[in-house]
Structure formats: C-alpha cells, structure tokens
A and B are shown apart, each in its own frame.
Chain A
Amino acid sequence: MRLRVNGKEVEAHPGTLLLEVAEVPTLCHHPHTETRGLCRLCLVEADGRLVPACATEAREGMELRTETEGLRTLRKTLLEWLALTTDLAQAPDLLALMERYGAEPERWGEVPGRRGREVLKDNPFYLRDYAKCVNCRRCVDACGDGIMGVYALTLEGRGLLAHPTTPLDRPLPETPCVFCGNCIQVCPTGALRPLSMEV
C-alpha cells in the first residue's frame, strides 16, 4: 500500500508502524519491549490527527506529517519537562534531541521532580538511580511481558507521581529478579546501570 510522508510517496506493508516509514524521535519505544505510545515524543500528524508513531499502523492513502511547527513545539516542551524533573546527564540521545529542538528547560523555573532521589544499591550487580529516570517504562516491559516474564519491576503511582520500582518497594534480592540486566540494556538514560561502571 501507499501513503504520503511529508509530501513524498512511500510504500509500506500492512501492519507497518508509522515510525518504520518516517524518521521521528522516540523514547519509550524499543523493538524488544511491549511499551507503546507512552512518552508522546514520537507524535506525528496523520490525516490531521496527532497519533504516536510507535503505536499506529500505516494505512492506505494516509497523509503523514512529522515535523510541523506544532509538533516541533510539542517535542521541545516535552523534552524541557523531562529535563526539568530528571537528570539527563547520562542520556546522550535525549541531550542531542534537546539540542535539535532548541529546548530551554530553564524558562519554566524550578519544578519539583525526582532529581533529588537517592541511588538505590541493594545487590552486587546494578544500581537504580531513579533521579535519572524518565518513566519510559522500557525496564518494566523488558522484565515483564517484553522479554523475561519475571515481573520484578513494576510501575507505582499515577500521573506525575508514576515511577518504576519493585513490587512493594522491596530490595531487588527479595523480588523474583534474576539479574539478567535486560532492564539496563533497554534503559535510555543511565537510571539503571551496572555497578562495574562506577569507579
């Protein structure tokens, strides 16, 4: 089938996700996890409506726009909010996006966030530095349905208070965690990282 991406005709198979036919920034999306459409960074305009490119399939005759003024502003704002509430120092891909979209988090002033959270070190293998977490939930999905089926990580709270943790906030050795580190591999911000990286 055929669709138009930013005015150019593109061919796609049925079932193709929009982000496979158009280049858009992503954050929560990862090919091995089940996360879909959470972070809104990949929003695109499809036939005039805003949809997440990671969770929307291409359709015959679709008119897709990926870099409108509105989308640029939206992405800029989303990135600014992330940078306001979290420490992105170890998230090179996000820092590059901030540069690209001209994000200026400081224009929002001080906002309470998770920056102050302490690093959790409760096992011999890796630490959880949730001050750097952007709630993409890739780790939760890698641990659960996406890869391992272990469910040692979960999401607690709602809205702005939502954050990944262990069930009942238990230390990792008291959860079903098997320390495969697949959560570290999919973490885009260094919120989960091996202890061996610490000097």
Chain B
Amino acid sequence: MRTTCPYCGVGCQVEPRLKEGRIVEVRGAEIPPNHGALCVKGRFGLDFPFSGKRLLYPMVRERKGAPLRRATWEEALDFAARRLLEVLGRRGPEALAVFPSAKTTNEEVYLAQKLARALLGTNHVDHCSRLCHSSSTAALSRSLGGASMTNPLEDIWKTDLFLVVGSNTTETHPVIGAMIKKRVRQGAQMIVVDPRYTGMAEASTLWLRVRPGTDLFLLNAMARFILEEGLWDRAYVEARTEGFAEWRASLEAYTLEEAERITGVERGKIALAARLYATTERAGTYWAMGLTQHTKGTATVQALVNLALLTGKVGKEGAGLNPLRGQNNVQGAGDMGALPDVLPGYWKVADQEVRRRFEALWATPLNPDPGLRMTEVFERIPEVEAIYLIGEDPVTSEPYQDHLKAQLEALPFLIVQDILENETTPFAHVVLPAASFLEKDGTFTNTDRRVQRVRKILDPPGEARPDWWITRELGKRLAQALGRPWTLHPGPEAIWEEIRQAVPEMVGGITYRRLEGEGVRWPCPQEDHPGEAVLFRERFNTPSGKARFIPVHFTPPAETPSEEYPLVLSTGRVLYHWHGGTLSRNSRLQEAYPELKVEVNPKDAGRLGIHDGEIIQVVSRRGRIRARAWVTDRTPEGVVYAPFHFAEAPANRLTLDALDPTSRIPEYKVAAVRLEKLD
C-alpha cells in the first residue's frame, strides 16, 4: 500500500511491504514527486513505529514531583481538560498555548489550532517551522504575499541555472538534491553559496565559500553589480514591482570590494555569479536553513527575494524562489493555521472580515489579537501556564538547552502528545500516546504544495490513538464544559471536508477521491482544477498585485568569536538522521551513524593538536558537550560544524537564543565556541 514518507518535505511516495508486523522492504512509488527514487531515511528508516520506546498508554502526573502513572484514556483526557479549563478560568486565554506539529497530518493540525482558537480562545498557536523557515515565511509574505515554493519540483528539469544558498540539499532533501545534480549533469549550471563543502558544492559549477552569516552582504553586492552592469530586467521591475528606487538607493555600500572583505569570497567570483544569475532566463533559487537561522534570517531571505525580482525570475517556469521546507508537513501546518497571526489559508486573525468568516464556520467568537510565537511562549513561562505540545521535542530542538529546561521545569502544566518517548516527555504532566504515520489516515502537504495521502497500514500499538482522535476527544470535554460547539468528526476525511469549506480558494477542489492517484497541488479551488504549478505568473498576492522590494542591511551575527571562544559553531543535520533524532535514532539508521561527530578543519585541528577520531569537548558560553572530532576540510578554517540529533551530546546546549527581530527564529548557525582536548 502506498503512503507518504514522514521524514522531509520532499513528500516521497513510499510503498512499505510488511510481514509479520515488521517492514521487510520499502519501495519508492513510480509517481511524483519522487518517481521511484528514495533516500536512506525513506528506504531504511521507516521502522521507528516498532521501537521499544513507543508510548503505549496514557499517563498522568498528579502533582509536581510525583511520577507519571498509567491512566485510562478517560482519566487522562478528563485530567487534561480539567487543568486547561482551570488555567483558562483563572488566567484567561493568554495563559494557554497549543503547538500542533509539522509531523502530523493537515487534518490533525487543523483540529489542534481550531481547539486553541475556537475553544480556548488563544492565538498562541505555532509549530516547529518557527525554528526553520519562519524567516522565509516573513520575507516572502511581505514581498510576494505568499510563503511557499513558487515553482513545482518538476521545474527542476527546465532550470538552466540553480542558485543554491545555504542548503545541504543532498543530505537534507536527498531526492531533490539528486534531481538537481542530474539536471546539472544534463548541462545546467549551479552556483552554490555555502561555507561548507557539501555534496552540492562538490557538484557545482561555481562555489562561493562565504564566511558564516555573511550571505546577505554577498546577495546585496550581487544586486548592486547587476544594476551597475545594466543586467537587470527593467521591463519586469517596472511592470511587476514597487519600492525599487528606495531599495536601489540602499545598495550604495555593497561594493564588490567590500563584499570580498566581509564574505571572504573573491570579487571576481561574486561578479561571475551575479552575471550568470542575471543573464540566465531560467534561473531558479533554492535555499534552506543556512540562510534562515540567523538573527538577520528574514533580511537575508529578503535580499534573495530582491535579487530575484530585480532579474525578473518570479512567475516563470524553471525559475522562481524555492524555500526547501524541512518537516514532511511543514507546508501543511502553516496552511492549516498553526501560526499565531493567521487562521487556515494564511488569513490574518487581526482582520475582522476574516474572523467573521471563521466565526460563522465554527459558530463561536474568535480572539482578534495575534498570539505569541513558540520561541516567545517559552520565554513567557510561567506567565504562560499551560502548553499542549503535539509531536515536538523542544528540549532537543530549541536553542540554549539548559535555559529551556529550566523554563519547562517552571511550567505549571504540560501536555505531551507524541508517538515516542523523547527528551521533553519527562517534563510532562499528561502524556498522550499517539499513532504513527503508518497507523492512521490523512494528508500531508509537501514542499511544493502537493497535498498527498497518508494511509493506515497497521493498527497502533497498545492504547495509542491517532492525533486527530485525541484532539477531538480533548476538544469534546472542553466544549462541553464551556458550552461551545465542537464537531465530532468521525474520521480524517470528514475533517478534510471541513477544511475544504474553511479555505475553498486554497484546497476547495481537492477531495480524498482525487488523491487516490497522485497528489494535487494547491491552489486548487474547484474539483475540475488541476492545481497550480507556477505561482504569480500574472500578479502577486499583494493588495497592489505587485511584488515589493524591501531594503535590508547587513549586521554581524549576535555572537562573534573572541579570544576565549575563537571558533564559530554552525549546527545542522547529517544524511542519516532527522532533527531531534527521535525517529531516526529509533530506526535502523542509528547503526549507520551512532554518535555525534563534529567537523573540524585540518588547520584548526593541527593548531590545537586534535586528531581525527579523538573525543574532544566543544565549549560555548552556555555549556559544553563531548563529541568525536572529524578532521575534514568540508568545514572551513575557523568553523566547526555539529549536527543536533544527539540527545546525549546536544548541540543546542551550545547555541544561543538570540532571535531574528521579525521571525523570532534563533541564530543556530553562528555561536562562538572553543575546542578542548580531554586529558
């Protein structure tokens, strides 16, 4: 039976073959988006639902300090509802937060944000894209009026030049990485901007090894050079954009000379990259966390957007602005309204007209004030008294781990709903065991807006239940006590039918029946609509229909190297693992990559007397971890790279919680550290 891979945003269609309750083989389905191809995670890492760490029964902690004890579903749900209502009655909706998950289905996210907004009256709703692409969402929304890939993945085959910035694509979106590399073998060119020598850099035509956190300067310098050389698309800029003059004036300081000094990339290479990008008609931009996870993440993505507008690259086949979304359903989680300022379909909660529409659908008044973002909610503890956490492990994924743990320690009430025990479970007051992707129905939306089916292949183990069922049952109790309406949907398809009513302009034409074959891309307003491939062909989704140039300026990272902490730490992922490691480290993948390895440049290693394979300590102002040194010139001199998957050696004990002012994303990519030998 076919279903959708639960790892990354590519949304590969997989066909797991089960025998006697285990997966014996996984094949890639011969349909889009993967056309039979898979990566190691989809092929060999789908066995985590069989892990011994599965949460099998509901559990409650009666009072602080008491152990979690097994409970019935009735007991656990009653207990959770009672405590939420108690906080609501005493402190009001602002003291409650609900975090749906980009790993659960659209139906489940929709229900969770509806529970928050329609029953608890809070807009403190957010999910893990706060930590990955919130910068992209912010920049794309304000410039184009939409925050998704503008072009479909099929456009890779029509692209003549790839501009890949801050994306380790072959390891984080391997199937897309392979597609891009194949297109390059067919003759397309590729410019890669990355401090690290990734698989993409290896396959590139031109690799710009920028110093970490200086991409913005480089992109602004490229724009200035393109203007100077007259290589920009005057007709496009005049017809389709606004704010050009003001933006143009802002580029004065971004000369090639200055760019070389700041970024460390020689000016000739920057000029060549600018020339190639500007003069190639079908040039597509792809980016990921390397750009977004900075205190100037939004500004850096904006610089990329400005560059694309200047050269007329948006709204055309084989080109566009394409953020590679991380989690399997991060696109869907945003679409379904798991964000503090928008309802499903990205409709602003602050807009009265919009609220009227959802108030009519949900038959209840809605809170007009945008809520807090996830990183802010954790800062507001214990002002925020209760958090309903679905499928997230903030202890591993949030920055500055020791601080976050202290905050969770001080949180009066935490519901953890998840499939596997993780680092956050010990902080829970109620644990609700959820069903994995193999054990439920629903839909995920992949990185290029393709809505695809998730199909139940197995029964959940123990007393685990699908997230939609748990949220529905919790909602039923809250609704009864509050005297508010709450629909008891019989299953995911019924929830999807409500979503089609809620956001008809987005998914009104997508039925479960249509999804029997391949997925359908939104926007898809009617059932006879094929789904839109390239966005913004005619007009942008802004009030004027034009895209906006917005000036952005370079600022150094929040923490720069010092004598005591002379190296820059950058965090990220490796091919074999996924985020907090909860899934991948409970699968066969663990055998291939069992422990943390920190990349150290040979020159730094030589200076410090560190040998390849030696156990060392990585120390920042906030903490220290032990790791095995991997001496390699993949990472540049002065930079160490640590994946964040390993709970026993958490890279996020080292990172700082400096946030981007617009998106509130943490600066995961630059922290000052030193390396210490163990004696």
Contact = CB atoms under 8 A, between A and B. Distances in A.
A126 B23 CA distance: 14
B44 A179 contact: yes
B588 to A, nearest CB: 6
Given A32-B35, A196-B22, A197-B24, A125 B185 contact: no
A181 B182 contact: no
B252 interface: no
Contacts of B35: 32
B40 A125 contact: yes
Nearest to A124: B591
B588 A125 contact: yes
Interface string B155-198: 00000000000000010001000100110010000000000000
A196 B178 contact: no
Contact of A149 (B36, B39, B181): B181
Given A124-B591, A124-B592, A180 B40 contact: yes
A178 B37 contact: no
B203 A178 contact: no
Contacts of B40: 125, 178-181
B174 A125 contact: no
A148 B37 CA distance: 9
Contact of B37 (A180, A194, A197): A180
Contacts of A182: 28, 36-38
Interface string A145-160: 1011100000000000
Contact of A196 (B28, B170, B203, B588): B588
A123 interface: yes
Contacts of A32: 35-37
A185 interface: yes
B614 interface: no
Given A147-B178, A197-B25, 18 more contacts: A123-B592, A124-B44, A126-B44, A145-B185, A149-B182, A149-B185, A178-B39, A179-B40, A180-B37, A180-B40, A180-B43, A181-B26, A181-B43, A182-B37, A185-B37, A194-B25, A196-B44, A197-B24
Contacts of B575: 178
Nearest to B27: A185
Contacts of A125: 40, 43-44, 588, 592
B25 A196 contact: yes
A197 B26 CA distance: 10
A147 B177 CA distance: 10
5 contacts: A32-B36, A32-B37, A178-B174, A180-B38, A185-B38
A145 B591 CA distance: 28
Nearest to A179: B40
Given A180-B39, A181-B40, A194-B44, A124 B174 contact: no
The 6 closest A-B pairs by CB, nearest first: A124-B591, A181-B43, A179-B40, A149-B181, A125-B44, A180-B39
A171 B27 CA distance: 24
Nearest to A177: B40
Contacts of B23: 196
Contact of B36 (A173, A185, A194): A185
Given A179-B44, A196-B22, A147 B37 contact: yes
Most chain B CB neighbours (cut-off 10 Å) among A32, A126, A145, A196: A196
Interface of B: 22-28, 35-40, 43-44, 47, 170, 174, 178, 181-182, 185, 203, 575, 588, 591-592
Contacts of A180: 37-40, 43, 174, 178
Interface in A166-195: 173, 178-182, 184-185, 193-194
A184 B22 CA distance: 19
Contacts of B591: 124
A173 B593 CA distance: 11
Contacts of A178: 39-40, 170, 174, 575
Given A149-B203, A178-B174, A185-B27, A124 B39 contact: no
A149 B202 CA distance: 11
Contacts of A184: 43
A148 B38 CA distance: 10
Nearest to B20: A199
Contacts of B28: 182, 185
Contacts of A173: 592
Nearest to B182: A149
A197 B24 CA distance: 5
Contacts of B203: 149
B592 A179 contact: yes
A183 to B, nearest CB: 10
Given A149-B185, A179-B592, A196 B39 contact: no
A196 B24 contact: yes
Contacts of A181: 26, 38, 40, 43-44
A51 to B, nearest CB: 26
A173 B594 CA distance: 14
A30 to B, nearest CB: 9
Interface in A68-125: 123-125
Nearest to A193: B25
Most chain A CB neighbours (cut-off 10 Å) among B24, B44, B170, B174: B44
A148 B575 CA distance: 14
Nearest to B575: A178
A100 to B, nearest CB: 24
Contacts of A185: 27-28, 36-38
A28 B223 CA distance: 49
A194 B592 contact: no
Interface in A1-25: none
A32 B170 CA distance: 19
A126 B592 CA distance: 12
Contacts of A196: 22-25, 44, 47, 588
B420 to A, nearest CB: 20
Contact of B182 (A124, A126, A147, A194): A147
